[in-house]
A and B are shown apart, each in its own frame.
Chain A
Amino acid sequence: MKSFGGKVLFLDRSDINTDEIIPARYLTEISKEALKPHMLEDLKLGGFDPKDPKNQEAGVIVTRANFGCGSSREHAPWVFEINDINVVIASSFARIFRQNMFNCGMLAIELSEADIDKLFGFRHAAARIDVDFENNSLTISSGNESSTFHYQIAEFDKALIKAGGWVEFADARY
């Protein structure tokens, strides 16, 4: 089982859509590698610079409500995957994006708005988050400080990750 976690990229806005995550002008690419430099290129968020090298160091995104709304493009999870981000934590997700994450073997974790606020409390520190996949929990840490949160995950979504994605799961079963 691969590990889920890494340094945190905080995106303090709701309703971040998949056009902002990966603009349609790059949908003519047919390799994930080609998407890599364009992650979050059109994100409308004060103070955010898509070219900041620190973005490349992140392994986890923490954000607000309705993340991944808009287009169905799976290029959105792919551009995270190719940038070594395999966890997105939000107070809610758009349906298609959420399923695309699990279908790709990545984690879309929902926490309450109060818990998301607590995670944002670490935004000015060099925080990292590590997910305990088996136990449905995650720990955020910075220096000596750390905090652990439990999350709910659908059994199906957990099974997809264990099976190595939906294609293998479905081809074996149907």
Chain B
Amino acid sequence: MAMTLAEKIFKSRLRDEPFPGTKVLDIDVVMCHEITTPIAINDLVARGKDRVFNPDKIKVVIDHVTPAKDSKTAQQGKILRDWARRHNITDFFDIGRNGVCHVIFPEKGFIRPGYTVIMGDSHTCTHGAFGAFAAGVGTTDLEVGILKGVCAFREPKTIRINITGTMPEGVYAKDVILRVIRELTVKGATDCVMEFHGSVVKGMSMESRMTLCNMAIEAGGTSGVCMPDEVTADYLWPFIATEYKDRKAALEDFKRWWSDEGCEYVKVIDIDVSHMEPQVTYGYKPDEVKNISEMEGTPVDQVYIGSCTNGRLEDLRVAAQYLKGRQIAPTVRGIVSPATPKIFREADQEGLIKIFMDAGFCVTNPTCGACLGMSNGVLAPGEVCASTTNRNFNGRMGKGGMVHLLSPAVAAATAIEGKIADPRKFRKEGI
């Protein structure tokens, strides 16, 4: 029978079907951060079940508020740190080596095609970019994942999204996913996996594919997924070189996860990007999206470049191309947070950090903080932020604040003008 990628993973990792319609899967990677995990740990301790199913399959990072900003966040870090130590969890990334979870874990090579991945974080769907089934879960599901290495799901249906055409100047993966969410709405993919296909996706780097899959949850999707191909094999090669005789062999192996010809999709969406404009959100939901021509001139107080959506080296390069030799508007606070130490170091070596600083940006350490209004760039009531993050919910970056979601290119142009601006107006500089 023809199967989708998600159906193949469900079949391969099925542990139990306790009731019709409920599938309990073995989980390959359980990821933890300091916001949702400490309560799971405390609950396991209180139940007399302070155990882990396999310390090598548990990956831990402190990323949401780092360095700790107060006693409470210090305590969250301490609970996580002490727990990782007592259970010999060696993949634990603390200050100095930590980065945004959905950027640092793929960078470390923890994700492979066909894997099942859970985390107490909704943007876990990012990792589907590798052809994995990766789903955000709550603290209780995380707790069971830690204890038993399993998680229960209703088998998701799959929506196929074909992205074709030629990417126009100034348009990037972020614009494509905002365009997709605009079409699907914030609930259009609930209980579904979003499969990204088409020539545009094939031509994308892993970084861009992660940007696509990252925002699947904003349409309600369980996981975003891309078919693992040469680009995937190249990205993973440093981590899998001992497992395959060459990249071609790895690719052949990956292909077994590809959705079959004739598999069942609940919906197929075709988007030709050839004449697409950069996309910007205008309201308090990620599906409230307009073309940039309708949003230009909206004043902003802050520009934020970073997060699990757009804090990767590729994103920083794009922004730097527009910012080089220019100054941000005096009315704007510019903040950039490279998402991992590796990205920070490479951005420094390439001269991007200097470009950001010369333009008037504040460069912060890797952290999620500003995206959800916890630290490092919280808004005051009435303030507006142009942000490369993923959520524009009311109060998301600070009570009473407003967020416009957009690409790193639009963020850079907006920083220069102090109001939402079309990057296509600016000449890109060599970096």
Contacts and interface: CB of A to CB of B under 8 A. Distances in A.
Contacts of B396: 19, 24
Nearest to A14: B187
A170 B147 contact: yes
Contact of B15 (A44, A65, A156, A174): A174
A156 B18 contact: yes
B136 to A, nearest CB: 4
B79 A174 contact: no
Interface residues of A, number: 45
Contact of A66 (B70, B141, B147, B220): B220
Chain B, interface residues (CB within 8 Å), range: 35 or more
B140 A165 contact: yes
Interface stretch (B34-42, B82-90, B348-356): B34-42
B373 A44 contact: no
The 4 closest A-B pairs by CB, nearest first: A100-B138, A103-B140, A74-B138, A156-B22
A69 B220 contact: yes
A165 B49 CA distance: 15
A155 B187 contact: no
Contacts of A103: 138, 140-141
Interface string A141-166: 00000000000001110010000011
Contact of B148 (A70, A97, A171): A171
B75 A30 contact: yes
Nearest to A65: B187
Contacts of B284: 44
A104 B137 CA distance: 13
A163 to B, nearest CB: 11
A103 B138 CA distance: 9
A96 B138 contact: yes
Interface string B21-38: 110100000000001101
A70 B122 CA distance: 7
Interface of A: 14-15, 17, 19-20, 23-25, 27-30, 42-44, 65-66, 69-74, 77, 92-97, 99-100, 103-104, 154-156, 159, 165-167, 170-171, 173-174
B42 A166 contact: no
Nearest to B145: A170
B341 interface: no
A104 to B, nearest CB: 6
Q: Which among B15, B19, B121, B152 has the highest number of chain A CB atoms within 10 Å?
A: B152
Contact of A167 (B47, B79, B285, B372): B47
Nearest to A29: B72
B83 to A, nearest CB: 13
Given A167-B147, A173-B18, A19 B187 contact: no
A20 B285 CA distance: 12
Contacts of B235: none
Given A30-B75, A156-B21, A174-B16, A96 B122 contact: yes
Given A66-B187, A69-B187, 10 more contacts: A17-B393, A19-B394, A20-B394, A28-B76, A30-B79, A72-B121, A100-B140, A155-B20, A165-B140, A170-B150
